[in-house]
Amino acid sequence: MQSLIESLSSKPDDSLIRMPEFLRYIPVSRSTTYAKIRAGVWPAPLKISERVVAFRVSDVRALLERFERGEAQ
């Protein structure tokens, strides 16, 4: 897990990653991702256009750190 966090360290906190890249860091299905977002467990993405969403790198880092500590579901 640490290597995933380290790979995000080269990206600025305010940069965005789109769903395919998010799923490389958090290897679950899209439907599971959206279920966790709807439940308020995971951070919501920003809607870039009608069919495109992106996540803040800072939110993804925080989620990975929660996983590392055993706090994320």
Closest CA to 58 of 19, 27, 25, 12: 12
Domain holding 43, by residue range, is: 2-69
Burial 28-55, CB ≥16 within 10 A → b, else e: eeeeebeebeeeeebeebeeeeeeebbb
- What does the pLDDT read at residue 4? 65
Q: Which residues contact 42 (CB under 8 A, 6 or more apart)?
A: 26, 33, 36, 63, 72
- What does the pLDDT read at residue 12? 87
Task: State the Cα–Cα distance between residues 20 and 4, nearest whole angstrom.
Answer: 15
Q: What is the pLDDT of residues 10-64, one digit of tens each?
A: 888 889 999 999 999 888 999 999 999 999 999 999 999 999 999 999 999 999 8
What's the pTM? 0.84
The count of domains in the chain is: 1
- What does the pLDDT read at residue 68? 85
Residue 21 vs residue 72, higher pLDDT: 21
